[in-house]
Structure 1
Amino acid sequence: MSKKSVGVIGGGAWGTGLAQALARGNHDVQIWALEEDVVNSINNEHENKRFLAGYKLSEKLTATNNIIEAATGKDFLIIASPSLFLASTIKKIVDVPNIKNGKTVIASLTKGFVPTEHGPKLILETMEEVLPACYKGKTVYVAGPSHAEEVAMGKLTGLVSASAYPRNSIKVRELLRVPGLMVYSSFDVIGVQICAAAKNVVAVVYGAMDAIAETSDTFGDNTESLLMAAGLNEIQMLGFAMGATHAETFTSISGVGDLDVTCKSKYGRNRRFGQDLIKTDMLSKFKDIDDLIANVAKIGYLPEGAIACKYVHEIAKKKGLKLMICNGLYRILNKEITPEDFMNELYNQGKKVYVRRKNVRKIQPDVR
């Protein structure tokens, strides 16, 4: 693809990592960041010292505190704002001429759900309610197993560009096909968004089990793989209940691929948060899950799964889904049960399932 102008709205780790990849692909990229120190360190030292310290950024990559400037005249706009601030951030740019007339292609990296008085909403649904009507059904969602650190370094990474509007899915796919990125199109917009949000919930539980396994005679690597497989099953159940259209969404890079790296990588904030639940008594800082979400800055990093699990719990309850892992994390963060007790519940539930299956009467096949 020829050189394009790209605005990245959000100067966190993932927004910065992808911006660096685009700059490496010779595109003109400008990041909007709320924090003045982030803008200064990117422009003057070519490093995002607050959110992606230690990774040298291209001198072609610039940053600004002016969100209108970052959105104006761009061919593409990549939204990398946290889910809690998504709608309020986008409202600031809806009157930019190239957005008002729908000329700019808009994609999102934001993971999770957006809380509303009518219940949790998906990312693109929220964006399209705020954006001009010409964007209805035409925004793009980008996800996949993609830690910002490795994307910034140029290590080979696979992504999915999902949209209900095939032309925009392909446009974003081609934009992102820069050195270090392999990108594929998908039309399962809901399924890809659910994978990106719910895998963080499973990864928190995985991190807690990982910490417990260090001193446990019961849990180990085998158990963690069991947990991951069961978690993937819950993600798929949630996805289809929400309107996902393709089973392969969950068995490809946006599903099992993203879940695997989020659970296992040393860069994973959600895995780290799960470990901190065991090793640092993290929950002692909070009264319940609502207090945790309201004061998430006290953690010192953003574990998206801690926020998403509240909304997964709400959706599961509304749709009558039995998601033992996802709902278990909700109970842990709401201080209804300890992580250790929940792990024992998982273990005992597994034994019950085994006993029930063992006692099922075998039916001889009809060979007439």
Structure 2
Amino acid sequence: MKIAIIGSGSWGTALGNVLAQNGHDALIWGKSLDEVVDIQQYHLNETYFPGVKLCEDLRATPTYNDILDADIFLLAIPSIAIESVCQELDKHLDRPVIIINVAKGFHPVTHEYLMEVIERSISNDHLSAVVSLIGPSHAEEVVLNQLTTVNAVSSNEDAARTVQEIFSNDFFRVYRNDDVVGAQIGVAVKNVMALASGIASGLGYGDNTRAALITRGLAEITRYGLYFGGRMDTFLGLCGVGDLVVTATSQHSRNFQAGYDVGVNGSTSHFFDTNIKTVEGVAATKVVYEVAKEKGIDMPITEQVYKVFYEGKDPRQAIVDLMNRELKHETK
């Protein structure tokens, strides 16, 4: 089976490496010629994984036409690029294909889930199914074959099973999940909580604070997700608490790192002046805050993160204001 990976960044490379190790024809298309040459000729991607040797069967190309005969297309690109990339891909397809999405977020303008963006950006006669491959995972560990479990999320059971089968092996295990709404909300909103966790750590707060933020953050994710029809078991699974824990505690997490930078420097100025990475939680914070406010969903952590990143609020004051909210019962 030929799988085309659009994007030669960390996730595209790590997941392409898994597919190549599993014996599939995995071909990465990338815009960066340096990354493509590094993968194709030297079996490395020094930009993201210095010194890590990739599977020799993993291939890469800078030529778009080389990937168009693939059976499956995996989008390893930032959420903001999904719409335009899918619209361009649609122009070249002549048959239905499975699209795999690995981004976690929302459309920044329409607030759509990413699977919805894909479904409206590719015509029906070119789209067999959309599957999101999401869950608690860092590319830096997957590329080293460290044990990882994720979900193949889709309303199409056959497509989810196909994705499950092509990726699963001794170190990378995939579970199926058909809660499309809940899973996408879980993995997107957890990025907001990871920003909060990073801020608290950057301010010097310790394990007690982080545990509180993760626990109350899960309450917010669940409250938001249930409102839109997600299932409780999803928020207690890999796309809920699993992804929240790994993103809100790990130095590999770009969202945690971004929050940490804000906490250490006491404002967002340094982060916005120096950051060159895609930090999905920043855009997600705006979407979740605006939607929650419109719908009347109580999201106190999200609100404070929004005020820090979009209104210039002092992060230390944001923590104080969270602690001084009206006292209440934990489960109400």
Summarize the alignment of residues 135-154 of structure 1 with structure 2, pairs less than 5 Å apart: 138-154=129-145
Q: Distance in 1 between matches of 2:50 and 2:64?
A: 23
Give the structure 2 partner of residue 101 of structure 1: 95
- In structure 2, the CA distance between the partners of 1:140 and 1:357, relative to structure 1 (3 Å rule), is closer
Q: CA deviation at 1:209?
A: 0.7
User: What root-mean-square deviation, in Å, do the aligned CA atoms of Structure 1 and Structure 2 show?
Assistant: 1.9
Q: Distance in 2 between matches of 1:137 and 1:235?
A: 30
Q: Distance in 2 between matches of 1:320 and 1:53?
A: 46
Give the structure 2 partner of residue 216 of structure 1: none
Of 101, 110, 116 in structure 1, the residue corresponding to residue 103 of structure 2 is 110
Q: Is the 8 A contact 2:198 2:260 kept in 1?
A: yes
Instruction: State the AA in 2 paired with 1:315.
Output: V
Give the structure 1 partner of residue 212 of structure 2: 226
- In structure 2, the CA distance between the partners of 1:171 and 1:341, relative to structure 1 (3 Å rule), is same
Instruction: State the AA in 1 paired with 2:253.
Output: G
Q: CA deviation at 1:183?
A: 0.7
Give the structure 2 partner of residue 313 of structure 1: 289
Identity between Structure 1 and Structure 2 (%): 32
**1:338 and 2:332 equivalent?**
no
- In structure 2, the CA distance between the partners of 1:220 and 1:277, relative to structure 1 (3 Å rule), is same
Q: CA deviation at 1:223?
A: 2.0
Give the structure 2 partner of residue 274 of structure 1: 259
Q: Is the 8 A contact 1:207 1:263 kept in 2?
A: yes
Q: Is the 8 A contact 2:90 2:126 kept in 1?
A: no
Q: Distance in 1 between matches of 2:59 and 2:168?
A: 21
Q: Distance in 1 between matches of 2:312 and 2:128?
A: 40
Of 59, 63, 83 in structure 2, the residue corresponding to residue 62 of structure 1 is 59
Summarize the alignment of residues 139-288 of structure 1 with structure 2, pairs less than 5 Å apart: 139-213=130-204, 219-244=205-230, 246-280=231-265, 283-285=268-270
Of 60, 79, 82 in structure 2, the residue corresponding to residue 83 of structure 1 is 79
Instruction: State the AA in 1 paired with 2:98.
Output: V
Q: CA deviation at 1:282?
A: 6.1
Structure 2-normalised TM-score?
0.94
Q: Distance in 2 between matches of 1:75 and 1:21?
A: 17
Structure 2 counterpart SS, 1:63: strand
Give aligned pairs, total. 330
Give the structure 2 partner of residue 121 of structure 1: 112
Q: Distance in 2 between matches of 1:207 and 1:162?
A: 28
Give the structure 2 partner of residue 366 of structure 1: none
Structure 1-normalised TM-score?
0.85
Q: Is the 8 A contact 1:161 1:186 kept in 2?
A: yes
Q: Distance in 2 between matches of 1:174 and 1:35?
A: 30
**Structure 1 residue ranges without an equivalent (≥5):** 214-218, 287-291, 359-368
Q: Per-residue CA shift, 1:291-337, capped at 9, x if unaligned?
A: x5xx8xx4032221112111111211221112011121111001341
Stretch deviating more after TM superposition (268-277 or 132-141)? 132-141
Q: CA deviation at 1:345?
A: 0.9
**1:19 and 2:16 equivalent?**
yes
Q: CA deviation at 1:135?
A: 6.2
Of 9, 19, 25 in structure 1, the residue corresponding to residue 6 of structure 2 is 9
Structure showing greater radius of gyration is 1
Q: Is the 8 A contact 1:144 1:158 kept in 2?
A: yes
**Structure 2 residue ranges without an equivalent (≥5):** none
Q: Is the 8 A contact 1:199 1:259 kept in 2?
A: yes
Give the structure 2 partner of residue 324 of structure 1: 300
Summarize the alignment of residues 46-57 of structure 1 with structure 2, pairs less than 5 Å apart: 46-57=43-54
Q: Distance in 2 between matches of 1:318 and 1:18?
A: 37
- In structure 2, the CA distance between the partners of 1:124 and 1:135, relative to structure 1 (3 Å rule), is farther
Q: Distance in 1 between matches of 2:291 and 2:65?
A: 35
Provide runs of 4+ in structure 1 moved above 6 Å.
none
- In structure 2, the CA distance between the partners of 1:259 and 1:130, relative to structure 1 (3 Å rule), is same
Instruction: State the AA in 1 paired with 2:103.
Output: T
